[in-house]
Amino acid sequence: MTHQSNKDIHIPIYPYLSKVGQSHKYIDSFELDQISFGQALYIFDANPQYEIALTNTGDAILVQGKITAIAKTSCVRCLDEIQIPINGNVEGYFFLNQNANIKDLKEDEYGFVDSKNTICINDNLYAAITYELPFTPLCNQDCKGLCQYCGCDLNKTACDCVQKIAEKKENEINPNSPFAVLKDYKFDDDD
């Protein structure tokens, strides 16, 4: 996963989250231009909006909330533009103590409050969005895609390219076909 964001979001734990049990809500927008994920590039014309609650649990700062966005991309089959509404869950757990017991946790399940007493939630916001993105974006599960020979959109037009090519192949393979004799025949151009 690669992504482009204009700046990191650092939330200070003082003064609102300095005591055990304290909780504070943040509503803001996440400056994000694009995310490259799976087979596609997702463009964000408007910054995703997040609404999160931070709580001091004694051990850590717990982050819980939502992020909403519209991700724009192209159908991998027909290349039509599609818009994917994102409604992701933001989650995070930032230990207050650098020596916290993290034995049973995976690396992407926690973070630490940094030396400036802030937490950086960018990775949590990216994860919440990316989790909602399809690996292979399609305008429709039944999208027929583009004709590989003439390039027409098979959802909107019908072409006979596949049929023509099948016939041509058949003629090439079968030397007894009545069309086979025509293959090397030089047609007279001047009528």
Q: What is the 8-class DSSP label of residue 109?
A: G
Residue number with CB closer to Zn ion (43 or 120)? 43
Cα(71)–Cα(40) distance, integer angstroms: 11
Q: Which tokens is 54 given? A: 């931070």
Residue number with CB closer to Zn ion (73 or 124)? 73
Residue number with CB closer to Zn ion (70 or 161)? 161
Tell me how far, at minimum, the Cβ of 13 lies from Zn ion, in Å.
46
Beta bridge partner(s), residue 66: 51, 89
Q: Which tokens is 86 given? A: 């994102």
Tell me how far, at minimum, the Cβ of 43 lies from Zn ion, in Å.
17
Residue number with CB closer to Zn ion (84 or 139)? 139
Taking phi over 0 as left and psi of -120 to 50 as alpha, with beta for the rest, 89 belongs to beta
Tell me how far, at minimum, the Cβ of 152 lies from Zn ion, in Å.
5
Tell me how far, at minimum, the Cβ of 136 lies from Zn ion, in Å.
11
Do 124 and 9 form a contact (C-beta atoms < 8 A)? no
165 SS3 class = helix
Beta bridge partner(s), residue 78: none
Residue number with CB closer to Zn ion (98 or 163)? 163
* Residues in contact with Zn ion by the rule CB under 5 A: 75, 77-78, 139, 143, 147, 149-150, 159, 161
Tell me how far, at minimum, the Cβ of 156 lies from Zn ion, in Å.
10
